[in-house]
Amino acid sequence: MSQASPSPSSAGLDASLLKRLDSAIRRLDNTSDKLKLRQQQPLLQQVERVLLSPGGVGACLERIVAMDKAGVFAGTDWDHPAHLKAGLVRRTLESADGSALVLEALSELRFLAIARGQYEHAEIAADHARHFLSQVLGLNLEWLFGTETEVSRRLSGDWAAALKSLFETIAEDIGYGHIFDAVISEIWRILAQRPIQTDRIKAMVAELSVWSKAGSIEPSSSGWGADRLTSALFAPTNECREDPGAEAYAAKLPTLDDNALTQEAAGMARAMHDTGLVSAYHAVLLRYLMNDRPDLVAECLGLTATGRENYMAYRSLIHALMDKAIHVETAQAIYGLALLLERGLLHLPPTVPALWRQCTLKLAPAARQRLVETFGPAPEPEAHLLAGVISVLGQPLGVGQGNNPTCQAARAIAMWAYTDPDYLLQLVAWAARDNEVHMPFEGTTISSGALWAGLAQGALLDVDPVSAILVPHLDRIYMEMGRMCAGREGDPHRWINPEMHGWWVARGFDIVVDVPTGQLVDIDGFVRRFYAAFHPDYNGNQPVIHPSPAGIAVTDSAARFVGWHAIAIIRVARDPSGDVRVYFFNPNNDSGQDWGDGVIVSTAGNGEFYGESSVPIADFASRLYIFHCDPMEQGPEDAVDGADIDKVRNQIVSSWGRDRTG
C-alpha cells in the first residue's frame, strides 16, 4: 500500500504523525482476518491523534478508503454502512468516547468518500451516501454553527474542534443552502407520515429556528416552510406569537375575552392539523379550557361533527384523559386525542371501560423504571403511558420501531390499534401493571415473564410509551413462538402471524423463498396467487378487510438486498391517476424509501392516508416474499395476465433475487 500524498488540508500536519498513521494502516491491512481486532486499536489510537490535530480531518479523509479496505471497521457496529442509521450518529457523539468516537468520525468520512464518487462501495451507492450525510447534518446542526451544547462542553476542546471540522467538511461538499432546504424538505416529508414520536423533529425545528435567527442562512432559502414549522411549535397563535413561555401564557389566558379565546382555540387546532406537530402552548390552553371554557374544547381539538359527537357523548372520560395525560411535556398526545375521537373508537363497547381502567392503572416497578429512564420523571410515568395510549389509538399507523430490530412487535401494536383496540388495551394493562403478558400459541399459553430477552436488548430507542412498555414482552413471545416452530418445514411466520396477531389473519400462506437455501422457488406461481388474492381486477374487486401481515425483501437505492422486513398490507386500490397501488404500513419510522430500479415508495400525493406507504402493485410484488390470504376468497389464478407476471419476475431477478436463481 503506497502512502497517500499530503493535500492542502493535511499539509500542516506533523510528518511523523502521518507516517505513524500510514504504518498502522499497513499493519492492519497485512493482518489476517482472525487477528484484525487486535491491530484495530493501535490504528484507532493513531487516527485519534491525527483527528485532534489541525488538518487531521482532511488527512483521514485522504486515507479512509485504505483504512476501510484494511479492516478498521471489521467486527464493529460500523462494519456494514447500509445498516447504519443517521439518527444514531447524534447518540454516539453524545455518549461515546475513545474508539467509538473515532469510528463514528471515520464512518462519516467513508460516507463522504462514497458520496463524492471517490469510493465505490459494495453496499451503498453515492446518492444513498449523500442522503445519509444530509440527514446527519440536519440532526447535528449545532456542530456546523458552533452552538454550545452539553455535548460540546463535555468533550475536550480538541475533540469539539475536530467534530466541527468534520461537519464543516461534509457541509462544504453537500452545500449549506442545500442542507437547509434538505432539512426542511426532510421534516415535511416525515411529518406527512404523521409519526407519533416527534421529539427528534421538534429538536430539528428548534435548531432551524436558532439557525435562522442567527442569520446563518439566506432569507430566501425555503423560508415559508421553515416559518410554518417554527410558528407551529413556538408561536401558533396571536397570544403566544412572541414565544412568552408556558407560565406567562397561562397567566394571560384568564384576561382574554370570548373572541380572543375562540381565536386561540382555532389557531392551535389549525397549526396542529396542518403540520402534525403540537405546541407546548396547546397543552396550556387545553387544560385551561377544560376547566373554565369546556365549550371551546372541541374547537381547540379541531374536531369535525364525528369527533364533536364523541366528545359530547363521553365528555367525562375525555376530561379525565386530558387531566391525567395532557401536560406541557406530553402535548403531542393532543393530536392523538383528536384523532381518537375522529375514529369513533369510544362507541366500541369495551373501549370506554378499558380507558377508565388505564386512567387509574398502578404501574409495576419495572414498568415505572423503564418509563422514567426513557421519558424522564416529569410528569409521572402513568401520565406518559396514558399519553402514549391515546396517541397509539388515535394514530395506529404512526407507531414506529425506532432504532430497534423489532419490526414484528411494532407492526403488531399498530395492527391491534387499527383493528382490535380493546385487545391492545388489555395487553398494555398486563405489561404495565403485571410486568407480564400472556398469549396463546396453538393451545399453549406463553408467558413473557418466564422468557429470556429476544431481539430487543436494553432500553428501546426512539419509541412511544406503549412500545417502550409492551415491545419487550411481545419480542420475547415472538421469539418463543419461533422456537416452538423449530423443526417444522417452511417459514415459521406461517404459524406465528395468525397466532400472534389475531383470528383475522388468514391461514393461507405463500412464500417465494426456499427457507433452507434462500433460493427463489415458483416465482410465477407466487406472483399469480398474490394477484389473484389482492389485485382488484382479478379478485372480484374485493377490498382488504383487515390489515394483512406480509414480509418484504428490502433493497437499497441500487436494488441490492438489505434484509427481510415485516409490514402490513392495509388496502389495495386505484390511485388518483387510475393505477392500482398497494397501500401498506411500514413500522421502520420512515416509510418513504428508494428501493432501486425506479421503485420509489410514496407516502403522500398518491392517495395515501396518513401513515400509509404505497407503490404500484407490480413494484410491491417485486419486493414481496411472504403473504397471507384466504384461498376461498381469491379469484381464479389462471385469469392473471401473463404480462403482469413477467414484469414482476423480471423486477425480482434484477434486484434482490439476482443471486437467488439458478
SS3 533: helix
Domain annotation covers residue 576: yes
Answer yes or no: pTM beyond 0.75.
yes
Angle 412-418-422 from CA coordinates, rounded to 5° = 85
| Alpha-carbon gap, residue 428 to 437, rounded angstroms | 9
Residues 523 and 648 in one domain: yes
| Alpha-carbon gap, residue 586 to 568, rounded angstroms | 7
Cβ atoms 243, 234 nearer than 8 A: yes
Whole-angstrom Cα Rg for the chain: 26
Residue 117, pLDDT score: 93
Residue 53, pLDDT score: 92
* Domain termination site, one of 307, 323, 347: 347
Task: Write out the DSSP string of 415-483.
Answer: HHHHH-HHHHHHHHHIIIIIS--EEEETTEEEEGGGS---S--SS-SS--HHHHHHHHHHHHHHHHHHH
Residue 8, pLDDT score: 40
Residues 360 and 336 in one domain: no
Report how far apart, in Å, the C-alpha atoms of 211 and of each of 29, 142, 260 are.
43, 9, 32
Residues 251 and 322 in one domain: yes
Cell numbers of 87, please? 439518527
Task: Dihedral sign for Cα 372, 373, 374, 378, please.
Answer: positive
Cell 398469549 identifies what position?
A: 439
Domain annotation covers residue 228: no
Angle 422-425-426 from CA coordinates, rounded to 5° = 90
Residue 6, pLDDT score: 37
Domain annotation covers residue 575: yes
| Alpha-carbon gap, residue 418 to 248, rounded angstroms | 39
pLDDT block averages, 10 residues each, the chain of length 662: 40 82 94 84 94 93 95 91 85 76 95 94 91 85 61 69 91 76 81 92 82 57 71 95 95 97 98 97 98 97 97 97 98 98 96 97 95 93 98 97 87 96 97 96 93 72 93 94 93 96 95 95 97 97 96 86 92 97 90 84 94 96 97 93 96 94 78
Cell numbers of 225, please? 416552510
Q: Which of 165, 194, 199, 170 is nearest to 182 (CA)?
A: 170
| Alpha-carbon gap, residue 207 to 211, rounded angstroms | 6
- Close Cβ partners of 529 (under 8 Å, ≥ 6 residues apart): 510, 629, 634, 637
Residues 290 and 374 in one domain: no
Residues 141 and 261 in one domain: no
Cβ atoms 336, 196 nearer than 8 A: yes
Cell 416497578 identifies what position?
A: 365
SS3 207: helix
Residues 168 and 47 in one domain: yes
Residues 521 and 640 in one domain: yes
What is the domain count for the chain? 4
What's phi and psi for 482, nearest 5 deg?
-65, -40
Domain that holds residue 451: 352-484
Residue 131, pLDDT score: 87
Angle 621-622-627 from CA coordinates, rounded to 5° = 40
Domain annotation covers residue 513: yes
Cell numbers of 351, please? 373501549
Residue 602, pLDDT score: 93
| Alpha-carbon gap, residue 443 to 439, rounded angstroms | 10
| Alpha-carbon gap, residue 229 to 277, rounded angstroms | 8
Residue 3, pLDDT score: 36
Residues 335 and 356 in one domain: no
Domain annotation covers residue 134: yes
What's phi and psi for 333, nearest 5 deg?
-65, -15
| Alpha-carbon gap, residue 231 to 281, rounded angstroms | 11
Residue 242, pLDDT score: 92
Beta bridge partners of 438: 447
Residues 621 and 599 in one domain: yes
Residue 600, pLDDT score: 92
| Alpha-carbon gap, residue 61 to 51, rounded angstroms | 10
Domain annotation covers residue 8: no
What's phi and psi for 365, nearest 5 deg?
-55, -40
Domain annotation covers residue 182: no
* Domain termination site, one of 314, 347, 380: 347
Residues 570 and 648 in one domain: yes
* Domain termination site, one of 347, 381, 407: 347
Residues 251 and 154 in one domain: no
Task: Write out the DSSP string of 369-432.
Answer: HHHHHHH-SSS-HHHHHHHHHHHHHH-GGG----SSS-HHHHHHHHHHHHH-HHHHHHHHHIII
Cell numbers of 89, please? 450518529
Residues 443 and 373 in one domain: yes
Domain annotation covers residue 593: yes
Residue 358, pLDDT score: 97
Task: Write out the DSSP string of 143-177.
Answer: HHHT---HHHHHS-HHHHHHHHHHHHHHHHHH-HH
Residue 133, pLDDT score: 92
